[in-house]
A and B are shown apart, each in its own frame.
Chain A
Amino acid sequence: MATIRIPPVLRAAVGGEREVSADGASVGEVLRSLADAHPETQGQLFGSDGDLNRYVNVYLNDEDVRVLDGLDTSVGERDVLVILPAMAGGAA
């Protein structure tokens, strides 16, 4: 199972976990397993077309999956997926 790092804004949707594990042989499969297990993440990750929302970046280890094969990118057991939504907090 691959590891998924959950950003602060999505933690409430996964019961406060910072990291979760999910099954799948591709980025799309792993993220869909995450959305199945934690339905609140579905609308935040995927658009109505089933593709990743443009404001969410997903990295396989340190590389943006959009420059790999997108949701079809293969994922190994030891890989880490990092979900990175834009943050703007400056604590003014």
Chain B
Amino acid sequence: MSVSGSEYVRRIKEQTAEVDPSEVRELTHEGAAIIDVRETEEWDTGHLPGARHVPRGYLESRIDGAVPDRSQRVILYCASGNRSALAANTLEELGFENVESMTGGITLWKDRGYPVDTPRTFTREQRERYSRHFLLPEIGTEGQQKLLDAKVLLLGAGGLGSPSALYLAAAGVGTLGIVDDDVVDVSNLQRQVIHTTDRVGVAKVDSAEEQIKALNPDVEVVKYQTRLDASNIMEIIEGYDVVVDGVDNFPTRYLLNDASVRLRIPVVSAAILGFEGQLSVFAPYEGPCYRCLFRQPPPAELAPSCGANGVLGVLPGTMGLLQATEVIKLVAGIGEPLIGRLLMYDALAATTTELKVRRDPECPICSREPEAISDEEMGAFPDYEAFCAAAG
């Protein structure tokens, strides 16, 4: 005996327990599994908050992953209630004990004015560009979304900032702020790979923007052609998720530390000299801050940042990419960030050494609440610019 398709659906719907959208709305926080059985394109246009997506065509193969417990209450929905009724029938055959189909589907849900989550979707070009990230379970579409939503501030488009900026742009970090008041000099090009010979004389922020845009048009570049100082630091760094510190002098490092603690922004910090580099992540109140590690800057004769020093060209590349890696880990929330640890890299010896960095209970900055840190204290210590000038 044959029946028409519509008659078959009608019969199945008669046998299926239905639940009204108003009741489903009450249930979203009560342990019922809400499953959207529509196609991917439909899911992408918006779905019930808290719902999981198991297209009807994959129901048998994927439902165990979504709802491992056969006795759990399962509510299925589709566009109008037909496919979800058929899917409910399938689940009952699979032994699910408590299956219902939502009356009227998401159409009725929306008509009632109930909330819908609309996932940000990737363009075809983005699906290809980030395909190797999507293949990593630790990143996937969710991690890529976090990267695209992230705002990362690079202090300097120099030795460390160049490789960080390039790889963070390639990874799809949505907003890259760059602070640099310098122009490209030919002596930079031995290591500052974001700049090019034909852009010598161009402002570094403009040169970096050009290269980033050429690499990944998804990235918005925010340029600050200025020097970071006490008068502008809070305004510039506020709103960023992570700061990448590659600054070349102590006054700015301390100032940055104090401002980032006040604003609770993690700082991925690196320093290089000769053939050696240091790297650590300072996450305010979660781990130590820069002042916990170095309470005071050294005197000028021990502070080689004061003048030009030699550096192996690839070294800032190595350290800058370790910084970029830590940024991605912080943004995506994966792995073990280098918080409370300091990594030393010796390029000549090809060795790394890891040291423990403890929070200092007497730290002048992070032992206090952020609100208690005053403007006057920020970056405060003996005047190093004068020191450096004196040291020549």
Q: Is the CB of A89 within 8 A of B294?
A: no
Residues of B within 8 A of A88 (CB): 247-250, 253, 271, 297, 303, 305
B353 at the interface (CB under 8 A from A): yes
Interface string of A55-78 (1 = CB under 8 A from B): 111010011100100000000000
The answer to whether A44 touches B160, judged by C-beta atoms less than 8 angstroms apart, is: no
Contacts of B191 in A (CB 8 A): 91
Distance A88 CA – B303 CA, assembled complex (angstroms): 8
Which residues of chain A come closer than 8 Å to B278, judged between CB atoms? Answer: 84, 87
Q: What mask results when residues 330 to 374 of chain B are scored 1 for a CB within 8 Å of chain A, else 0?
A: 000000000000101010010001111110000000000000000
Total interface residues on A, CB under 8 Å, equals 26
Check if A90 sits within 8 Å of B355, measured CB to CB. Answer: no
Q: Is the CB of B295 within 8 A of A89?
A: no
Residues of B within 8 A of A24 (CB): none
B42 to chain A, nearest CB (A): 50
Chain B residue at minimal CB-CB distance from A44: B302
* Count, chain B residues at interface, CB 8 A: 46
Instruction: Let me know if B159 and A90 touch, CB within 8 A.
Output: yes
Q: How far is the CB of A59 from chain B (nearest CB, A)?
A: 5
**Contact string against A for B residues 206-250, beta-carbon threshold 8 Å, 1 for contact and 0 otherwise:** 000000000000000000000000000000000000000011111
- Least distance between A39 CB and chain B CB atoms (Å): 15
Partner of A91, one of B182, B272, B276: B272
List residues of B whose CB falls within 8 A of some A CB: 156, 158-161, 182, 191, 246-250, 253, 270-276, 278, 293-299, 302-305, 309, 311, 315-316, 342, 344, 346, 349, 353-358
Sample 27 A-B pairs with CB under 8 A, ordered by A number.
A18-B346, A55-B294, A55-B296, A55-B297, A56-B298, A57-B293, A57-B294, A62-B354, A67-B358, A82-B344, A82-B353, A86-B298, A87-B273, A87-B305, A88-B248, A88-B249, A88-B250, A88-B271, A88-B303, A89-B271, A89-B272, A89-B304, A91-B159, A91-B248, A91-B272, A91-B311, A92-B248
* Extra A-B contacts (16), CB below 8 Å, given A55-B302, A90-B247, A90-B271: A5-B353, A9-B298, A54-B296, A56-B298, A62-B355, A64-B355, A64-B358, A86-B271, A86-B294, A88-B253, A89-B304, A89-B311, A90-B248, A90-B272, A90-B316, A91-B158
